[in-house]
Structure 1
């Protein structure tokens, strides 16, 4: 069975069970904490957590996924791959274990001719969470699965979570397929996970994960708003079984590229994983090509392009690993165009956008190949020379050599590491990283020059030669000075008139130039006959402050006397934010420990953001504690003491250096409450912590692996934010007629009443539907020798309501040939349920045929067995047309 057919059967089956078919989300994740979509449930996380209302109660999808943590292992074993497809069915507060388990069993074991996958029931095994007696009962009593093939496992194996505090979690039940004694020991999944391969994981998602690490060492905070179902079946794994191949590389969508790589190289694929087998090296390379080319095609199809950062770097690495693998197979000419075309043919049936957008995909892939082949041609010889020299000396490849390969020849460090390892030589990676950091520092200076209007940094050299711009802003906000130089359009000029945008250098200035995460001051520079508005201040050259300004009045000339005036209100608000940044840092150290070190910051009037090293999401309780400790320090009325001292003395005091800053021999130390907060800092600050006013944390998020970010409003902005929240609470208090301290309880009680009311409405609706049985039976008409009931029931809760009603009507119609087709509308979309009795089926009436006839008119699809079938559509306005089509079908 082809992979395309597997995915179609999956979607058809669950659509027939009332699930909405949801197209695959992009591989580029919308979640800022993850780079790619790494699991089928990722697009649905807001629904599971109750953050958003799901537009459907049941859903099913075939989700594209990318995982790159084990990229270096791809090809070496049959288990590692980057791109894969996850088939899933999901329930958002609709059904739970009682339906999820039977659904899985039915689909896996139903014969091929009835839409199932036709797996041998006797070769299936099941694992459940060790205390999950409910699942055990469903498996053994509802499904009839042998108890001796159910194994109970602990949290590490049968408890799933999203991986971070605040995410969904719950026990799971996993389904395994026994590949036979030739693959390993007897005894089920607990004995041998090579012989018993997991194909489907049913997650009973009902809890919110708390703090903790690993798969089995975390707290459970409580229950989610609803009990949900999240299942995931590995499409490639099922394809392995149904296609009778050994690993996912040999399945149809992957094997096509592998075979092309073999054809182009003239090699024969042996399928070995044994490193001692002489064919293994080439087999590994062909597997790398097949996996990486397919992954690259899918990534480019979703809008990723090769680059040196983020997702683009992952794509670049995949393509370059594939290209190099082909060269190691002996193919030196460009072949990526041919390989991606084969992958397009293999994947295009399932993902039509790949075929439709193939010219763009091919163009990007081929361009990357051309670029990389030039890199290989120029750098490989240099690398090989360096490796030989290092081996002769008995040393590792130096960081300087690795950096030269990167900087001069474009050789990425991962390629250098890989090729050097193959040659048996290690690489001084730390030395390489240090040189890279130096380069980034230089690049930062270049970026600063661009920020100043594209002026080359050397344009300021002569201005700096006249001396350092003396900063007076620590003690005053107004300073008299003289204009040392003027730049307009990147060129030195003697004067500038009204309307001109210029860069101005003064001999001394009270304006703080952006540095250390603190935004620059703004204000006014006045003189005899001119007024300048200062918009920004930068330091393109150490010791030189450059004011970006607009001439608002008159004409300013070089050498003119000037009065520089900082915007005092904005400066004070900025000082509040900067001092608050130090306080937040100290609060994090107090609560999380010294390992929560700063990784960057930015502060401006009324706002701060602070990045720090931390691997896990902060719990709401921890965020609240951070805010509380910070505000206690603010209200503590602590003096903010600043003093200059030799850097060694500052280090001896334990002063912390800010991330990414360079310091001289003499440094400025800022203390708040003594050693509680002591940092090296050249910024401006309030004189006392109480002057900050207050701080309100806005949120916390991931900003890359192992790094988190908090944001906060400070001072008046914090007050405004709190006032807005207070107004919201007041409004809710009036609406719920409860004081603020009782509001949460009142809202909870109201929600509980709403849930109870919804249940009661559902009960009344079920009773109302049942009451319609006599009416529907009485309305049965004779058609082609059968008693037929065709009806539009209007709004219904679910397909289950229609099934119960249709069953009752069919049973009341007796043993004569009887057909019942009921159509209802749920969430604006039509649902069709058809039932036939034995006599009707003998006469040729098939439930599945009738459902397909109706859903074709309704713009949907469906199917099922001859006696019971179900489907759905898109256009409820055509229900009458569908009933007419059914009448015509039955009259044939």
Structure 2
């Protein structure tokens, strides 16, 4: 049975049994505790926690998941994956243990012709939480399992939570006995390789605190209702139903390995465990990388971007170790697209953008490998010249951390040069880095207890948002919150959160800032400072009480600042226009990956690999303003996600959408995006759009900034005034200012070059004097001194060579030092006679470099370097003199 059919059978089974089909959430989800979605229940957490009323009693989904905690273990075993699909069924206060067991058992044991998976019931086992007698008896009653095939396990195995404060509960797991050839008898407690877990039924009833019940700690409370959360591993079921040994050999993963075999000429499963690990890394990470990019992640040096970069670079590294040196990521991407797009069509429709990002990252990494190799070669040569045979751990860590150079390539290259690597030191530094990262992550994590204050308010229903139709509305104060606690009233000068039953004030979302405005009532006036959503349903107004006293239950009027709203509409509609212009000029792969807009200003991030030329920026600006001049109609359409996709609407990366979505059109299909923001009614109301900047925000991502409306006009007025002032100063017409400035710059550069020549000539003219003052050190003429401050590296080398030439056939050493602030540079040069006598510049450096707290090296005729202690130059000269004495 193919993997796509396994997924469809699961969803069909549960929709037939009254479950609402819910599409997979994006891997990027609005949750402070998660880098990526790592379980099927993530998008349902607000319902489990009672933060929002569920829109259905039963749901089912196949959720794409990424777990990155065991990246280093991927491939070493066949049990670790970063990307996987979790099929689940969920009950929100509806059925509980009996229903979950019945639904699961019928699906896995029903015959294939009846829509099931057809597993042999005699090969199925179940585990339950230690004291869960109810689940134990239900397995006997519903499934007919004998007692010996139902095993009890402690919280480490049979209690589930997300590893952070939130929902959890005891669980019951279903295992399949693969047979004695896979391990020993005794059930899951004896051997989890032979007995493969395929489904986990979580009886979601607890709320855990900072300490997990998995480790024996008590929950901090009960959830408002008893719920069901299950997770069936699609890939694991595919392994069993396809009769293969592990997930890497299933129909959606094995083709990637096949492509790697084709490119490398090596074979998976041919007996080399090391090669098999590399094949598995390639297959796993290619899928994960594709799915992350499809959901809007771009390679970078922090958080999600860093994880993606690491995954892609591990592919390149593994392929290189298989003997392939040409670019490969595009080839693997095409295979993943062909195998996965039946379930995830965006992999095909968005393939040009995804492939472009992967190729660019590969080019960057290959360049990094080249530069890292050069750095390694310099370090290795210096070590060997100093008689050392081991690369220090801090050097290996620097290559890995600063240059992205993999440790296994460092080990391989060191072996080729007859060196070893201090792996212990490297691992210790890596462990310290991981500990810091975990500490930072833990510090950023927050539980869900701080949102429990809104539960009662959410139970009263969602806030009615009226801001699309009106700027004012009468409302009732449902509740007041101050510092995480409900209060009944707030007095003048206090800052408090106000929850209304209805509001015209826009809550920050979709890149748009919240509205400014006021809330007034009998004897009270509030200044609105911010508006945020809780559980995407409750509008929370953060206010300052200007006068009077606000009390719960008061009838008030909420007012949006009309000038603010005009500017906000211009900024958000301008963002859509610039995005459409961007795609028109650069092509459909230039998709928005993030945005921010406020009155008069917009910022748009988009996937692109290189800087835009001035002509391209001008063209984008012109296309944008032409759209404004055309007075294009702005239309809003409400539909479901399927209808939006049929319209060709652009869904933005990382955004979460409701079942009913809002599509904003500007000029019909020219700009059609899913958006909940406030917009103008015709494009001409945006006013002029002026691009003010274009920059990089990470590998494969660029940023455009622009002013719109009156802010654009003010910006242009300042630019005009600047040009007029320059024209007056230069005494030329305004249109001649650029040419005159360019001429002045050319003259200035010419003058600087002449000054540089004069200075260099003056410096070199002192070479003869310096050579004449050489001191004799055991038969070697030594010129060692500090030259005037500010002499740069090139001039220092030139002077050292000239002094060396003036020493003629004598055995001579020239060592010149130059300081600049808290830095010091040096050059050491030797004459041919000195080198014949065994004196090498590169070998002299270690004798004095510690005095200036520096490092350096080079060849026998010349060496150079730098340091951080200018005050140590005199000591360095003394050390060099001593080295020549003992040479």
Q: TM-score, normalised by structure 2?
A: 0.48
